[in-house]
Amino acid sequence: MVVVLWGVLLLTESAFSVWERLQHVPLWFFYLYAGGFLAVGAGGLYVLWLLVRQRHRRRMAEARSGPPEPLTREELNDRVDRANELGIDVQSVKRELALHEQRKAGAKIHVAFFGEISSGKSSLIKALLPDARLEISARGGTTREIGEYHWQSPMGDELILTDMPGTNEVWAGLDEMSRAEALRSHVVVYVCDGDLSRTQHQDLQSLMDLGKPCVVALNKTDRYRAEELGALLERLRGRLGESDRVNLVAVRAGGQREALRILPDGREEVVVRAVPPQVDELGRALQRYLDEDPAVLERLRDSSVFVLVARRLDQVELIHRRERAVVLTNKYSRRAMIGAMAAVTPGSDLVIQGYLGVSFVRELAKLYDVPVRHIDTDLLLELVQKRVARSTTIMLAVAGNALKAFPGVGTLMGGVAHAVAYGMVFEALGKAVAASLESRGVLRPAQAAQAFGENLSENLEARARRFARMALEIKAAVREEAKQAAN
């Protein structure tokens, strides 16, 4: 309160003092002063309004943001063509598109039974379609099998029910194979035998976000009492939310159960009793989807498959970019080492501030298709230079020790030691910039400089030996070229 009152007194005193002085100035100066004061005040209020408005729009956009719109077939083809021109291996993407066209030509409804291991997917399919024939096919380069049950509904619909390996299997790659097959289907039957775990909810939510028609089948309901089953179904409805594309049903696949029977003489024996299946509700839920417009099911299936293809394309592009980033890092590290050995004054910062550093960052930005402003590049290199200046002594000492490990080198220092240091600097810089561009989609100089400092101090001795060997090889090659030129 005291501070506020003191501030008010100072402001009012200044205002009255200015007003009193303005009474004795020419009229034109009074209007000029008042106009300038109002213009500056109005400009400040306008800038403040723009900042508040921009922040409000950003919050509204984040609130309205949902899953991105899936790409069309034409957009995917364009991306595949561009990737192919860049030398990216897109064979897996082309195979996925070819499989999609093959299924579209077959004109059959694909229903994928999806869920964790031991949830009863296979038993549920056999209980639902006891007369369906089974065909086994292996996909995705794995020895694990996908079972396809062919069945024709009473209304004449051709169905292919896919029984897939459950998620959380010990075999590597099966989870992604099952998730991909779920996206390829028209309808997904998500089988669970209890409340949803975090992973189960994430799998199901990803399908719901794409508008995929889903039936959540709570299996093994014979294990629950009536009140327990009602409470469990209520919890599942709450987690699924309100969606007209998701149905919740309670089912049991049937089979056999062991029971303990006590005989009149007190003896006990284990008896096996048949448990009849209860899948009528699941059949009705599937039939409701089959009764819909086939064009709607096909359009929804196209959208999810295109999302799957786009993810595959993102993955192969990411792998390509990471490999190319390593190649660029090695290339510029070698150039920096050559420049350091050729420098008149070893240890100068011209390499960091000059052409090599700027060109390196720009090539990485071009690789990741991220526009980078010149001011961001300059700021990053300035921050990097400050970090290098603080650790130059340590780096040169480590480089000198690394050189001593090679027979015949002795205490060789000078340009070779500086070359080793610059090799480590550019390697750390390449890793930091590539990580920033990959994870953030934009170059953040402060964060990239922080990552650079961490990379620079990581495994100093091992990296120094590697670059020392490279520096000696470069120096030997330069001497050989000089001899040949002299001859």
pLDDT confidence of 117, banded at 50, 70, 90?
A: confident
Q: Does the structure show a pLDDT above 80 at 258?
A: no
Residues 6+ apart with CB under 8 A from 148: 134, 135, 136, 137, 160, 161, 162, 163
Average confidence (pLDDT) over 372-384? 86
The DSSP string of 294-332 is HHHHHHHHHHHHHHHHHHHHHHHHHHHHHHHHHHHHHHH
pLDDT confidence of 330, banded at 50, 70, 90?
A: very high
Identify the weakest region by mean pLDDT among 77-86, 143-152, 326-335: 143-152
Query: Using CA atoms, how far apart are residues 252 and 219, in angstroms rounded to an integer?
Result: 5
pLDDT confidence of 141, banded at 50, 70, 90?
A: very low
Specify which of 48-62, 433-447, 471-485 reaches the highest per-range mean pLDDT.
433-447
Contact present, 219 and 114 (Cβ < 8 Å): no
Residues 6+ apart with CB under 8 A from 470: 334, 337, 423
pLDDT confidence of 29, banded at 50, 70, 90?
A: confident
Greater confidence, 128 or 59?
Answer: 128
Q: Does the structure show a pLDDT above 70 at 69?
A: no
Structure confidence at residue 173 (pLDDT)? 62
Identify the weakest region by mean pLDDT among 140-144, 172-176, 333-337, 414-418: 140-144
- The two beta strands, 187-192 and 109-115, are parallel
Q: Does the structure show a pLDDT above 70 at 180?
A: yes
Average confidence (pLDDT) over 139-158? 64
Query: Using CA atoms, how far apart are residues 32 and 25, in angstroms rounded to an integer?
Result: 11
DSSP letter for 223, please. G
Query: Using CA atoms, how far apart are residues 95 and 180, in angstroms rounded to an integer?
Result: 13
Q: CA of 417: how far to CAs of 172, 407, 462, in Å?
A: 45, 16, 15
Q: In this structure, how many other beta carbons lie within 10 angstroms of the beta carbon of residue 212?
A: 24
pLDDT confidence of 363, banded at 50, 70, 90?
A: very high
Torsion from C-alpha of 226, 232, 234, 240, nearest 10 degrees: -150
Average confidence (pLDDT) over 114-142? 68
Query: Using CA atoms, how far apart are residues 286 and 213, in angstroms rounded to an integer?
Result: 10
Which two three-digit tokens encode residue 253? Answer: 């696949």
DSSP letter for 167, please. B
Q: Tokens 């490990």: give the residue.
A: 405
pLDDT confidence of 391, banded at 50, 70, 90?
A: confident
Q: Does the structure show a pLDDT above 80 at 411?
A: no
CA proximity to 424, closest of 459, 386, 464: 464
Query: Using CA atoms, how far apart are residues 36 and 51, in angstroms rounded to an integer?
Result: 23
Structure confidence at residue 433 (pLDDT)? 92
Structure confidence at residue 405 (pLDDT)? 67
Contact present, 273 and 257 (Cβ < 8 Å): yes
Q: Does the structure show a pLDDT above 70 at 49?
A: yes
Phi, psi of 448 (to 5 degrees): -65, -40
Average confidence (pLDDT) over 360-378? 88
CA proximity to 430, closest of 292, 316, 335, 299: 335
Q: Does the structure show a pLDDT above 70 at 18?
A: yes
Entry field: residues in the chain: 487
Which two three-digit tokens encode residue 49? Answer: 């309004």
pTM: 0.68
Contact present, 170 and 205 (Cβ < 8 Å): no
Write the pLDDT tens digit of every residue in 293-305: 778 888 888 888 8
What class does CATH assign to 108-292? alpha beta
Q: In this structure, how many other beta carbons lie within 10 angstroms of the beta carbon of residue 11?
A: 10
Q: Tokens 């066209």: give the residue.
A: 101
Greater confidence, 482 or 450?
Answer: 450
Structure confidence at residue 329 (pLDDT)? 93
Structure confidence at residue 65 (pLDDT)? 42
Task: Give a three-class secondary structure readout of 248-274.
Answer: EEECECCEEEEEEEECCCCCEEEEEEE
Identify the weakest region by mean pLDDT among 91-95, 212-216, 315-319, 406-410: 406-410
Structure confidence at residue 172 (pLDDT)? 54
Identify the weakest region by mean pLDDT among 57-71, 97-111, 359-373: 57-71
Task: Using CB atoms within 10 Å of the CB of residue 413, give its burial: 0 to 12 exposed, 13 to 18 middle, 19+ buried.
Answer: middle
Contact present, 217 and 188 (Cβ < 8 Å): no
Phi, psi of 153 (to 5 degrees): -75, 160
Average confidence (pLDDT) over 441-468? 87
Average confidence (pLDDT) over 298-320? 88
Task: Using CB atoms within 10 Å of the CB of residue 265, give its burial: 0 to 12 exposed, 13 to 18 middle, 19+ buried.
Answer: exposed
One-letter amino acid of 362: R
Q: In this structure, how many other beta carbons lie within 10 angstroms of the beta carbon of residue 222?
A: 14
pLDDT confidence of 465, banded at 50, 70, 90?
A: confident
